[in-house]
Amino acid sequence: MAFATPRKGALPLGEMNTTPLIDVMLVLLVMLIFTIPVATNSLDVDLPATTDTPRPLQPNPIKNKIVLTPEGAILWNGIQTDRAGLRSTLKAARALYPEPELQYEPDAQASYDLAARVLSDIKASGATKFGFVGNDRYRSFEKQD
Protein backbone atom coordinates (compact mmCIF):
# COMPACT_ATOMS: atom_id res chain seq x y z
CA MET A 1 0.00 0.00 0.00
CA ALA A 2 1.40 3.32 -0.92
CA PHE A 3 1.07 6.40 1.19
CA ALA A 4 1.29 9.83 -0.17
CA THR A 5 4.04 11.78 1.40
CA PRO A 6 3.89 15.47 1.24
CA ARG A 7 6.52 16.99 -0.87
CA LYS A 8 8.22 20.07 0.05
CA GLY A 9 6.17 23.09 -1.03
CA ALA A 10 3.18 21.00 -2.09
CA LEU A 11 -0.27 22.21 -1.19
CA PRO A 12 -2.53 20.06 0.95
CA LEU A 13 -5.17 17.99 -0.85
CA GLY A 14 -8.50 19.86 -0.99
CA GLU A 15 -10.69 16.93 -2.00
CA MET A 16 -13.47 15.82 0.28
CA ASN A 17 -14.66 12.25 0.52
CA THR A 18 -18.26 12.51 -0.79
CA THR A 19 -19.22 8.85 -0.45
CA PRO A 20 -20.80 9.19 3.03
CA LEU A 21 -22.63 12.32 1.91
CA ILE A 22 -24.09 10.50 -1.09
CA ASP A 23 -25.12 7.54 1.10
CA VAL A 24 -26.96 9.83 3.51
CA MET A 25 -28.69 11.64 0.64
CA LEU A 26 -29.84 8.34 -0.89
CA VAL A 27 -31.27 7.17 2.44
CA LEU A 28 -33.13 10.46 2.83
CA LEU A 29 -34.46 10.20 -0.72
CA VAL A 30 -35.75 6.66 -0.11
CA MET A 31 -37.41 7.80 3.15
CA LEU A 32 -39.06 10.70 1.32
CA ILE A 33 -40.41 8.39 -1.38
CA PHE A 34 -41.95 6.09 1.24
CA THR A 35 -43.64 8.94 3.09
CA ILE A 36 -45.27 10.57 0.05
CA PRO A 37 -48.93 9.51 -0.19
CA VAL A 38 -49.95 7.42 -3.13
CA ALA A 39 -51.41 9.55 -5.90
CA THR A 40 -54.93 8.51 -6.75
CA ASN A 41 -56.66 9.44 -9.93
CA SER A 42 -60.00 10.77 -8.83
CA LEU A 43 -62.45 13.34 -10.00
CA ASP A 44 -64.74 15.04 -7.51
CA VAL A 45 -68.27 15.37 -8.87
CA ASP A 46 -71.02 17.15 -6.97
CA LEU A 47 -74.12 15.01 -7.38
CA PRO A 48 -77.57 16.44 -6.74
CA ALA A 49 -78.88 15.65 -3.28
CA THR A 50 -82.18 13.88 -2.89
CA THR A 51 -84.82 15.70 -0.94
CA ASP A 52 -87.18 13.90 1.36
CA THR A 53 -89.60 16.80 1.45
CA PRO A 54 -92.29 16.67 -1.23
CA ARG A 55 -93.22 19.68 -3.28
CA PRO A 56 -95.66 21.79 -1.27
CA LEU A 57 -99.32 21.74 -2.16
CA GLN A 58 -100.64 24.98 -3.53
CA PRO A 59 -102.40 26.88 -0.76
CA ASN A 60 -105.70 28.56 -1.46
CA PRO A 61 -105.24 32.34 -1.13
CA ILE A 62 -108.53 32.70 0.79
CA LYS A 63 -109.07 29.71 3.08
CA ASN A 64 -107.27 26.40 3.76
CA LYS A 65 -108.49 23.49 5.83
CA ILE A 66 -106.44 20.87 7.67
CA VAL A 67 -108.36 17.70 8.56
CA LEU A 68 -107.05 14.77 10.61
CA THR A 69 -108.67 11.40 9.93
CA PRO A 70 -109.08 8.47 12.34
CA GLU A 71 -106.61 6.50 10.17
CA GLY A 72 -103.88 9.04 10.92
CA ALA A 73 -103.93 10.85 7.58
CA ILE A 74 -103.42 14.60 7.29
CA LEU A 75 -105.56 16.26 4.63
CA TRP A 76 -104.80 19.73 3.25
CA ASN A 77 -107.90 20.97 1.43
CA GLY A 78 -108.89 17.32 0.92
CA ILE A 79 -105.49 16.18 -0.45
CA GLN A 80 -103.48 13.78 1.68
CA THR A 81 -100.02 14.90 2.78
CA ASP A 82 -97.46 14.04 5.44
CA ARG A 83 -96.00 16.25 8.17
CA ALA A 84 -93.03 17.36 6.05
CA GLY A 85 -95.36 18.31 3.22
CA LEU A 86 -97.64 20.07 5.68
CA ARG A 87 -94.74 22.15 7.03
CA SER A 88 -93.65 23.22 3.56
CA THR A 89 -97.25 24.02 2.55
CA LEU A 90 -97.75 26.06 5.73
CA LYS A 91 -94.58 27.98 4.88
CA ALA A 92 -95.87 28.65 1.36
CA ALA A 93 -99.25 29.78 2.73
CA ARG A 94 -97.55 32.05 5.26
CA ALA A 95 -95.64 33.75 2.43
CA LEU A 96 -98.88 34.81 0.68
CA TYR A 97 -100.18 38.32 1.18
CA PRO A 98 -102.68 38.66 2.70
CA GLU A 99 -102.21 35.52 4.75
CA PRO A 100 -105.04 33.03 4.05
CA GLU A 101 -107.30 31.73 6.80
CA LEU A 102 -106.25 28.36 8.22
CA GLN A 103 -108.98 26.07 9.58
CA TYR A 104 -108.12 23.07 11.74
CA GLU A 105 -110.59 20.20 12.05
CA PRO A 106 -109.40 16.98 13.68
CA ASP A 107 -111.81 14.06 13.67
CA ALA A 108 -113.11 12.92 17.06
CA GLN A 109 -111.35 9.57 16.62
CA ALA A 110 -108.07 11.03 15.32
CA SER A 111 -104.89 10.32 17.24
CA TYR A 112 -104.26 12.82 20.00
CA ASP A 113 -100.51 12.52 19.42
CA LEU A 114 -100.90 13.38 15.72
CA ALA A 115 -103.21 16.28 16.58
CA ALA A 116 -100.66 17.68 19.04
CA ARG A 117 -97.83 17.32 16.53
CA VAL A 118 -99.81 19.04 13.78
CA LEU A 119 -100.72 21.87 16.17
CA SER A 120 -97.03 22.18 17.01
CA ASP A 121 -96.19 22.42 13.29
CA ILE A 122 -98.86 25.10 12.81
CA LYS A 123 -97.54 27.09 15.75
CA ALA A 124 -93.95 26.78 14.48
CA SER A 125 -95.03 28.09 11.06
CA GLY A 126 -96.14 31.36 12.64
CA ALA A 127 -99.67 31.28 11.20
CA THR A 128 -101.73 34.16 12.57
CA LYS A 129 -105.14 33.55 10.94
CA PHE A 130 -105.84 30.22 12.59
CA GLY A 131 -109.04 28.74 13.96
CA PHE A 132 -110.67 25.50 15.08
CA VAL A 133 -113.76 24.49 13.13
CA GLY A 134 -116.35 21.81 13.78
CA ASN A 135 -116.03 21.97 17.57
CA ASP A 136 -119.76 22.70 17.90
CA ARG A 137 -120.41 18.99 17.24
CA TYR A 138 -118.73 18.18 20.56
CA ARG A 139 -120.43 20.79 22.78
CA SER A 140 -122.45 18.16 24.65
CA PHE A 141 -120.80 15.26 26.40
CA GLU A 142 -123.72 12.91 26.08
CA LYS A 143 -123.28 9.66 24.26
CA GLN A 144 -124.08 10.05 20.59
CA ASP A 145 -126.02 7.33 18.77
Q: What are the sequence ranges of the domains in the chain?
A: 63-132
Q: How many Å apart are CA 9 and CA 34, to the nearest integer?
A: 51
Which of 1-10, 50-59, 83-92 is modeled with the greatest confidence?
83-92
Average pLDDT, the chain: 84
Cβ burial, residue 33 (10 Å; 0-12/13-18/19+): exposed
Q: Which position has the higher pLDDT, 44 or 126?
A: 126
Q: How many Å apart are CA 97 and CA 88, to the nearest integer?
A: 17
pLDDT above 60: residue 144? no
The pLDDT assigned to 108 comes to 87
The pLDDT assigned to 70 comes to 94
Closest alpha carbon to 88 in 76, 100, 101: 76
* DSSP for residue 8: T
The pLDDT assigned to 37 comes to 80
| Mean pLDDT, range 97-122, rounded to an integer | 92
pLDDT above 60: residue 17? yes
User: Which fold is adopted by the domain 63-132?
Assistant: Nucleotidyltransferase; domain 5 (3.30.420)
The pLDDT assigned to 54 comes to 58
pLDDT above 70 covers a percentage of the chain that reads 83
